[in-house]
Structures are given as C-alpha cells and as structure tokens.
Amino acid sequence: MKESEKNIPVVPKGLVLTFVLVTILFPLWGFANDITNPMVAAFKNILLISNFESSLVQAAFYGGYALMAIPAAIFIKKYSYKKGVLIGLALYSLACLMFIPSGMAMSYPLFLLSYLVMTSGLSFLETTANPYILSMGDERTATRRLNLSQAFNPMGSITGMFVASMFILAALDGTSESGRRQMKELADNGTPVHLQEVNAQLSAVADLTAVTSEPGWQDSKKLLKKASALAGAVQSGTFLLDNKNASEADAIQTAVAAQPKGNKFKAAIEAVAVVMQVREQPAPTEAEAQRNALFVDGRGLELTLALNEEAPLLAKANDAKWNAAEKSLAQATAPAAEINVAMNSENAAAMAAIPGLLAGVKTELEAAKTALEAIPSASLQAHQQAAVGNLAKIQKSDLNIVSMPYALMGGFLILVLGLFAWKLPKTTKGEHAGDGGGLDLGGTLRRLFHNKAYLEGVVAQTFYVGAQIMCWTFIVQYGESQLGLSKSTAQNCNILAMIIFVSSRFVCTFLMHYISSGALLSLLASGAILLTTGAIFVEGYAGLYCLIGVSACMSLMFPTIYGIALEGLGDDAKLGSAGLILAIGGGCIMTPLQGRIIDLPAFDLGFMELASVRASFALPLICFIVIMLYGWRTFKVHHAEK
C-alpha cells in the first residue's frame, strides 16, 4: 500500500449508515447460498434421484444469476441502487415463500423454479450491492471497502449451514437412502425386498469373482483391498437374509428409539471433534451394541425389520417356494462367512479355496432367486400399496422440513424490505454523475470488452464460484462415501470449513496492506491447488482435512477478483459488475458436471482405484489453476501496463 493511501478513510463519515445497511445484504445472500448447498444431498435422499439430478438444485440456483445479472445492471444504471435493492429483496422473499406450495405439491420442478426466482433476486442484490459499496468513498480504498463488507458474508453462510445441519438434515426421517430405494422398487414394480437383496448379493458375488479372477490379485494391494470389502459385504448380506436373530429386531428397534436424544448442538460439536480426532469415538450404548452385534449396524436392523414384515406374506402366497428360498439362503451363509475369513487370513491355501466357495454361494443365491420369482406378485398387492403410502408420507414430511426454514426467511425478508424502503437514501453522491442516468450500453460494452483485466476477471470469477460451490456442496458426499459420516456430521464439517473461511478472510484482508491483490490471489490459489490434490489422492481423514482446508485459501478470492476486475471502471462498474455476477453462473454448469462424475464407477488409475467422488474434485483443481494464472497476470502484466 502507498503511504499516501494510509490516511484515506475506508468509509467516509457521511456514508456510514448507508454502508452498514448495504453490508447487511451480504450475510443475507450468504445464508441463501449455504443453506442451499447441502440441499443437493437432501433432495437426492428424499426424492431418490441421481447426484446429477439433485445437483440441478445448484443449476437452478446459480442459473438465476446468469439470467438476471445483465437486466439488473441495466436497471440500476437507468434508475438507482436503492430500487435495485428493493426489487432484489422482493424477489428473494417471494421465492422463499414459494417453498410452501412446493413442499405441499411434492414437486421437484417447483422447488427448482423457487431457487431460480430466489437467485434472480439475489442477482439484483449482488449486482447492486458490490458496486454500491465500491462507490462509497475514494476509489483507492474501494477493494478494501468491498473486502470489509464481504467479510460479513460468511456470517450468513455459517447461519445457513447451521440451519441446514441442525434443523433440516438432522430432522429428516431416519430411513436410509438404500431403504427408501427398496421401498420405491417395491412400490413401483412390486419387487419384494427379499428378491432385491438377493439380486444385490448376486451382484456383489459377481464383482468379487471378477476381482479374484485377476492374475496375482493376492499380491496387489488395490485388488486385495477391493476383494476384502466385497467379501465383507457378501458375508453381512447373506447373514441378514438368514438372520437367526430376526425375531429380536422389534425389541432392539424399540430400545434404540427409546434412548434419550440429548442436545443436538452438543452432539454436533462432539461429532466434529471425533472427525477432527481430538475426541475418542463414543462407545455405543447398550442398545446400540446389541443392535450392532445382532444386525451388523443400523442399516442391518432397518433391513431386518423390512424382511420380517415381508416374510409371512411370501410364505402365505406360496409356502413351498418360500421354504425353498429360505433353505437356499441358509445354505449360502456358511460359505459366505468362510470367504470373508479366508480373505483376511493371509493364508495361501485358504485364499485358493475362495473361487470354489464363491461358486457355491452363487448357486444357492440363484436358487433362492428362482424360488422368490416364482411367488406370484399379485399376492403382495396390499404390501405394495402400503409401501407407496409409507414412502409418500416420508417424502412429504421431509419436504415440509426442507421448506420451513425458507418460508420463515421469506417472512423475515419482508420486514427487511420495509426497513430498506424507509432508511436507504434514494440516491448516493456521485450516482449517475455526468450522464443524468443515461444508458450508453454500446459504449460501455465496447470499453469493457477492450479491458483485458476485466475480461480475465470474469473468467476467473466463473471458475472461482464453480470451485467454491463444488467444494462446499460435495463435502457431504465425500464424508458419507469415504468416511461413513452421516449427512449432518459431514455438513458440520462444512461449518468448520466456513469458520476457517471467515477467520482467513480477516487475516487476508489485513495482509492486503502489505501484499498486492494479484500476488495474494496467486498465493491463495497455489495453496488451494495443493490442498485439492490432497483431497483427491490422500485417503482417510487426512483427505477430508485437505478439503476443509481449501476454504482458508478461498476466503478472499471472490472480493479480490471483483475489486481487481472493476478497478478504474468508474460508472462502467455498474454494467461491469453484472458481468462478474453473471460469472456466478459458473456454479450452475460445474456442479451438475461434478455430480455426473460422482455417479460414475470408480476410476482405475493402475497404481490405485480412485473413488468417483474423489476424482470429481479434479474439476475444482482445474478452477484453482485458472485463478492462480489470473493472479499472476494481475501483478506481472496488468499492473505493469497501468
């Protein structure tokens, strides 16, 4: 920073109230952004859609920015900042209230429309607020002023994450996604849960057979790890299909449900402490220990309850076929257990027997499948209809839980709208100076398209927003699939990431006194590249820590890119701001693309098998490389030219 800039006030005294009011908007859109990110996982679980389909939430959410950024900029250039703020708040509150009929109708397209309307409003707010803040004082302190306002954005983000974790994800019905999918298959096609499970076990046996058919698989760490996981799945799956403890399931379920719930906030903190390995994993309660011993885990108990409900209906429909199926399932259990023991014995002779054991398990499962398929499905129509009603009931309840916080936010925003209509000044000093509010759209666009720093800034902002949304959206799937965390615990890790983000933002804002914005941006992006690489290739909790740590590097990227790109644009900043808000649409393109990658099977890299959720973070890695190049060009090229 130059010595002459040190005594310039960041915010002039006469504009402090206006600055405070406009800064209030930053946490408001932060709340919307970060209560919405985990909804990708929530909608996937509730509506039983793919990662790609659920990520359309982000496509709709960030699509609103792309749709309305230019119209919003033209509007505020022609009229005023105040009117732009009021329209943005009106659309934001309307969209939140739209969640009520969306939940009642159980309509995913209507939810997507609500998100689109919401971000049409947020587009007005961001297109207005950012240049509004930049205009409130000396241009030499504009980037610092914007960074100060942007520092309050994560406050809203943390609140949104907290509400998503405590009041949405933790409150959803406890039925697992696999349990819901079985209910849906039964409801849609009348396929009994028994038959679905047998098919799943046949698929696991086929996968294990393929792995153990590979030459030298015992000497390959990658193949041995995969085979061990499949052997465990085959053993637990066949065990649950012929569980001698099945009659105790109802009592265990009652005991687990009767446990005191405890404080959700305390439980969330303790769960994150366990993830961060600063606290030991709490020992299971007596009821949970019984459940795990008799039914493998919570999903095993849930499955056993479903099988118990179905078994007498299958027996009544065709007793002979049902007895044949039961006999075959019982005969598959012992060899499946032997396979798992042999796999973990490191004994060559025992492992050599695995192919024969697999063949025996396959024969028995195929015999059970044949018997189950012979039982007439018409006899299960009442059971099928019950599944239809139960699934609809669970989905409706969950969608109402999702809708409620948005609806409450809509009511709050109406109050904020009234406050801004009353207290925000009609115009600000310098607004429309020299043009009488005229709109020189062609001239402005020509100047912008000839400004390399601005154009490259739009590109960098597109990639930054895409990277941020991908890292914060799919940390839930990363924690679930790679570490077995619950959705709410994985979301609490996101809250930890946001706390790091906020802390780093204040630190980096201080550093901007001593380091140029371009150099700092390049350094932060380099750190993000290293940490994202860790999230891709480092297994276990260390990989999750890398993903959490990326937030420290992202903390100042958005406002820094924004300030660099708009530097020296004058009144052109109003339309220039629209281009940078339009860049937020990067989230609507990249997030579904990452969801599509997560839906793919694991990637075989030769030296390791990379889970698709890990591989998908190659997209944010590419984004951070682009941002690093922009930071480098800013202090090496653009500043030198000026």
Structural tokens at position 392: 């609809």
In this predicted structure, what is the pLDDT of residue 439?
A: 58
Q: Which residue has the tokens 């859609």?
A: 49
Q: Are 26 and 152 in contact (CB under 8 A)?
A: yes
Residue pair 159/27 in contact (Cβ under 8 Å)? The answer is yes
pLDDT for 434: 47
- Residue carrying the six token digits 């909804």: 39
Residue 429 — φ and ψ, nearest 5°?
-50, 130
Work out the angle at residue 453's Cα, subtended by the Cα atoms of residues 451 and 454, and round it to the nearest 5 degrees: 65
Closest to 307 in 3D by CA, of 364, 241, 238, 379: 241
- pLDDT for the residue numbered 151: 78
d(CA 439, CA 424) in angstroms, rounded, equals 23
**In the 8-state DSSP scheme, what is residue 14?**
G
pLDDT at position 81, please? Answer: 86
Q: What is the per-residue pLDDT across 348-394, written as a single tens digit (0 to 9) for each? A: 888 889 999 999 999 999 999 999 999 987 778 999 999 999 999 99
Residue 152, SS3?
Answer: coil
238, 329 Cβ separation under 8 angstroms: yes
> DSSP for 553-597?
HHTTHHHHHHHHHHTT-GGGHHHHHHHHHHGGGHHHHHHHHHHHH
Burial degree of 149 (CB within 10 A; 0-12, 13-18, 19+): buried
Q: DSSP for 461-511? A: HHHHHHHHHHHHHTHHHHHHHHH---HHHHHHHHHHHHHHHHHHHHHHHHH
Round to whole Å and give the CA distance between 171 and 168. Answer: 5
Q: How many CB atoms lie within 10 A of CB 112?
A: 18
Longest dimension (CA), the chain: 93
Burial class (CB in 10 A: 0-12, 13-18, 19+), 556: buried
Three-state DSSP string of 159-181: HHHHHHHHHHHHHCCCCCHHHHH
The token pair that represents 582 in the structure block: 């339009």
Distinct helix (H) and strand (E) counts, the chain: 31, 2
Separation of alpha carbons 450 and 471, rounded Å: 33
Amino acid identity at 251: A
Q: Are strands 603-604 and 609-610 parallel, antiparallel or unpaired?
A: antiparallel
| Backbone conformation region of residue 550, classed left if phi is above 0, alpha if psi is from -120 to 50, else beta | alpha
- Is there a contact between 521 and 557 (Cβ–Cβ < 8 Å)? yes
Report d(CA 480, CA 263) in Å as an integer: 23
Q: Which ranges of the chain have pLDDT less than 70?
A: 1-7, 10, 143, 427-440, 574, 637-642
Per-residue pLDDT, 623: 96
d(CA 28, CA 48): 30
d(CA 22, CA 135): 12
| Cα–Cα distance, 244 to 573 (Å, whole number) | 72
C-alpha to C-alpha distance for 468 and 203, rounded to whole angstroms: 37
Domains assigned to the chain: 3-175+393-429+438-641 (1.20.1250.20), 193-374 (no CATH)
Query: What are the Cα distances from residue 523, in Å, to 68, 433, 502, 528, 632?
Result: 33, 38, 18, 9, 9
Q: What is the pLDDT of residue 570?
A: 72
Distance CA 233, CA 482 (A): 16
Whole-prediction pTM value? 0.84
Residue 313 near residue 387 (C-beta atoms within 8 A) = no
Interatomic CA distance for residues 65 and 587, integer angstroms: 10
What tokens does 58 get? 């982000």
Phi first, then psi: give them for residue 609, nearest 5 degrees. -100, 120
